[in-house]
Structure 1
Amino acid sequence: MKKKRFLIIFGIFFVLFLSLFYLLKTKRSEIFDYDISENYHYKFNTRNTTKLNLIENKLLIPDNLGKGTTAFIKVNIKSTFLGKIFSPNIELISKSAKVIDYFEFGGSGDRYLNISSLLQEEAKQIELKSNFLEIQNATVELIHFSKSIPTESKILIISPHPDDAEIAAFGLYSKFPNSFILTITAGENGLMHYNEIFPDSIQHYLKKGQIRTINSISIPLMAGLKHDHILNLGYFDGTLKEMFDRDPHPVFSQILKTDSIGIFRNLNFSSLKDSLTGRSNWSSLVQNIQLVLDFFQPDIIVSPHPQMDSHPDHQFSTLATIEAIRNAGLNKGELFLYSNHHVKTEFFPFGKTGGTLSLPPNYDDDYHFHSVYSHALSEEDQMEKVLALDAMNDLRPNTQWRYWHKLLHWTYQNIKVSIKGQQNTYFRRAIRSNELFFVVPIQELNDETPFEKTLTPNRVILE
């Protein structure tokens, strides 16, 4: 009798195990809407590339590479069977440090390993330890860029929404106290994050916009920025493309049904707030960005990459910045371009918190950039970035935890997301051992850019 009961219980657990195993194997490979077996493709200048031999999973690094170098190793990988269930990854190990590069569940083909953080330790040999994948090539390609940022550099961060600056570049701007955070919108749209407190949608989204605007103004203070170098322009979330298309006509908030940007702009305390002009239209946006450019005169402007980032507000924030750069007559410095919503997948970067941020999925030569800059984050830097993101109300769990039945539902949803491998919170994606930027010289912006040709091929100015 006991044996029979044991066999029944064993059978039940075995069926549950097989069901979970099948679910993991199938669902985790379905979250990507592109062919994960294709080669990533980037076209680099041959003077920035070198062939290296991978001998017993070890690479000897050339002597001319060291601190201040951004470098990638191009390898060809093939996920094992277990790599469809667990995140395939390669540990990169030097004498004094280690980083981990993660890939798609079941991913195969040419991929890029970011070894930049190891070069900060002047590594001469790097060991590659594969987990849930196999490296297919014995000869690999090293791609490298020399770039260091002088400590006195003035860095302007363009943040389309409250929290974008922190997600993309908190580690960077916290090391350069002479930085300026310019947030474009109040970020009032999105989920009803506080619907248990404010059932009225107008009241809810007004309060949400106010809270997020205050977040954007206060959190950079944690990194030591001057209060005069923090500004939110107060434009409406999700409207930048419409502002571009309808210029010079003002655009209404999608939810609040008002065109008065003063309801959020008035929360600023920078001395520049009294110089802000205009209404919720494109010309006003460009003029106000130019105001900041004229005041701050940045050496580096950090902004979303219009071709790599899928969010229209991110794309058009950068287009407005480019227009303002031309109007201001800037011809020196560089654009550092980032992506918080990659066009190929919202799950990039892959893998766990603390992994490296490397080159994202790409299958053509359309992405425009001249070089790449990887900014290393120590473990302490990453902890500080966690605190910065945690201080952003919109990135934290909503107020459902106050009600036990809603807490149970929230727990169930998180377990389901974890099983499917669909965890794409910014605490997983943004807390990495580096921050990554694609670099374009500002002097190139005198002519029409590939960004404008892609996004605004036939613009018509309304009368």
Structure 2
Amino acid sequence: MPIQRDHHLPLAPDWECKATIDDNGIVQLDDPAIATLGKDDVRPNTWMLEVRYRATSRWKLPAVTIVGPSNSQATERFTQYLEANETGKRLINLTGIESLDKLQLTLKHLRLERDAILLGFRNPDLASGPILIIAPHPDDAELAAFGVYSQHPKNTWIITLTAGERLKRLDKQYWPGLDDSLEGASQRKGFIRAWNSATTPLLAGVPSEQLVMLGYFNDTLTMLYEKPDTVVPSYSVPTLKPDAYRNWNKLSLPTDGQARNTGQNLQSDLAALLASIKPKTIITPHPDIDPHADHIASTRHLLAAMQQSGHSPESILLYANHLKSIRGFPRGPVHAAAGVWPLDIPNSGFGDWKLASFPLRFEDQKQKALALHSMHDLGGSPGLERRLKRRLLKRLSGLPIQRWKVYSGHDFFQTHIKAHENYISVKASALFSYK
């Protein structure tokens, strides 16, 4: 018997329409005005189909393939995978289709109820002004938004808050035996990660002048927010200063030369950058979804800096690179559709949410794989137990083993190289009211 589990998010769609799914998977919309929306209204925006499904296998991954018109022909666009051995309410990502008319779903290892609801959300216009991406650590911008910033490279600024220097064990350094002390290995780890943050976005054409490393310390951002006047040393290198990781910055920061790891300094640097860049869109971690303490604190520091600078963007896109107690999401192999986070959040400190999904061209997905490979912290191989478990799950998934392309050993190479990058879109005023 499948496990009953509904996913709920506090959504406020711009379009909403009842729909039915017939025995052949044809989606019929009740409102003809929405069904006949033109390509210019459909293509740039986010579309989700709220369905109730029932998995028909304990292990095989339920799969929904979206078939939509393209150049007047029915074409398979992408496949979204759901949880095996479950039943409940889910959102099927349709974003990237060109028409809402003549949609068809091809199903494997699941059944769908007849009644459904189409939800539509207007995406912010990313081309109309500067985009500022807040990365708590090197690689967060790439995981969350490489596809987005590769489509708007000249318009993108990336601010990385920490160098990610913390190393808990000497035997975990990138090159075994290179350094003989934990302090030396940790400082070198921060150095190469800072270099990654300064160079990886160049693969997408982001100008080096728009890549900024603040150099504050890994795993300290919560304390910096709670006690902004207190100097907090690096866990791994007590004598370290943020200036050590600013070598490749092309512009000056207010705290250059006398930077200490304090929340006051971090917020001062952020406020100066906000006032200078004046971003129209900010992309930052979602503190309700992403449980990483540095990610939660990053957005809180951003809020404080926005209040200090007096600049408010038109839209804020919130991402989640981590999910609490959930592995392997978005489901399925690389290049599959990216589903919406499998969560039950009926209310939020941000009020109602709008979804914002951006499709990635196949070439952008491959370039994203290259970008992730350039990040040293995503290298290495999983342990034997993890490898065996992955192999078993792939065998049980019902998919041909060749569909499970292995670009690298880290989970992110499976979960984050997908056909979409998904966000929650909120107004700046909602961020100011967040508790």
Q: Does 1:378 align with 2:361?
A: yes
Given the superposition, is the C-alpha separation of residues 288 and 67 from structure 1 closer, same or farther in structure 2, using an over 3 Å criterion? same
Kept in 2, the 8 Å contact 1:347–1:424? The answer is no
Alignment of 1:205-284 (within 5 A): 205-265=186-246, 267-273=247-253, 276=256, 278-284=259-265
- Which residue identity does 1:392 align to in structure 2? M
**Distance between the aligned counterparts of 2:6 and 2:384, measured in 1?**
37
Q: How does 1:371-450 map to 2 (within 5 A)?
A: 371-397=354-380, 410=383, 413-419=386-392, 425-446=411-432, 448-449=433-434
Structure 1 residue 297 displacement after superposition: 0.6
TM-score relative to the length of structure 1? 0.81
Q: What corresponds to 1:77 in structure 2?
A: 53
- State the secondary structure of the residue aligned to 1:188: coil
Shift of 1:296: 0.6
Q: Is the 8 A contact 1:330 1:442 kept in 2?
A: no
The 1:320/1:347 distance shift into structure 2, 3 A limit, reads: same
Match of 2:302 in 1: 321
Call closer, same or farther: CA 1:113–1:203 in 2, change over 3 Å.
Answer: same
Which runs of structure 2 are paired with 1:19-168 in the superposition (5 Å)? 37-45=4-12, 48-55=15-22, 56-60=24-28, 62-64=35-37, 66-81=42-57, 84-94=58-68, 95-118=74-97, 121-122=98-99, 124-135=101-112, 137-168=113-144
Q: Is 1:186–2:153 an aligned residue pair?
A: no
3-state SS of paired residue (2:299)? helix
Contact 1:195 1:204 survives alignment (8 Å): no
Q: 2 CA distance for matches of 1:350 and 1:442? A: 31
Structure 1 distance, partners of 2:356, 2:138, is 24
- Identical aligned pairs, as a percentage? 26
Matches of 2:36 and 2:239, distance apart in 1: 60
- Distance (Å, rounded) in 1 between the aligned partners of 2:81 and 2:354: 22
Deviation at 1:148, TM superposition (A): 4.8
- Tell whether the 8 Å contact from 1:93 to 1:126 is kept in structure 2 after alignment: yes
- Aligned to 1:212, the other structure's residue is in SS state helix
Cα pair distance change 1:228/1:195, threshold 3 Å: closer
Between structure 1 and structure 2, the one with the greater Rg is 1
Task: Check conservation: 1:79, 1:88, Cα contact below 8 A.
Answer: yes
Give 1:32's aligned residue: none
| Change over 3 Å in CA distance of 1:45–1:439 after alignment to 2 | closer
Instruction: Name the SS for the 2:429 alignment partner.
Output: helix
Is the contact made by 2:56 and 2:85 (CA closer than 8 Å) also made in structure 1? Answer: yes
Task: Give ranges in structure 1 of 5+ residues lacking alignment.
Answer: 1-28, 30-34, 399-408, 454-463
Change (3 A) 1:346 1:282: farther
Residue 337 of structure 1: aligned partner: 318
Tell me, in whole angstroms, the C-alpha distance in 2 between the residues paired with 1:163 and 1:383.
Answer: 16
Q: CA deviation at 1:182?
A: 0.3
Q: Distance in 2 between matches of 1:312 and 1:181?
A: 20
Provide the alpha-carbon RMSD of the alignment: 2.4
Aligned residues: 400
Contact 1:231 1:273 in 2 (8 A): no
Asked if structure 1 preserves the Cα contact closer than 8 Å seen for 2:242 and 2:259, the reply is no
TM-score under structure 2 length normalisation: 0.86
- Residue type at the aligned position of 1:439: S
Q: Is the 8 A contact 2:253 2:272 kept in 1?
A: no
Relative to structure 1, the CA distance from residue 363 to residue 296 in structure 2 (aligned partners, 3 Å threshold; closer, same or farther) is same
Show structure 1 runs of 4+ deviating over 4 A. 409-413, 420-424
8 Å Cα contact 2:136-2:295 kept in structure 1: yes
Matched, 1:196 2:164: no
Following TM superposition, by how much is the alpha carbon of 1:225 offset from its aligned partner in structure 2, in angstroms?
A: 1.2
Residue 15 of structure 1 corresponds to none
1:206–1:256 Cα contact (<8 Å) kept:
yes
Cα distance in 1, alignment partners of residues 62 and 17 from structure 2: 26
Bigger mean CA deviation after superposition, 419-428 or 178-187: 419-428
Q: Which 5+ residue runs of structure 2 have no aligned equivalent?
A: 30-34, 69-73, 398-408
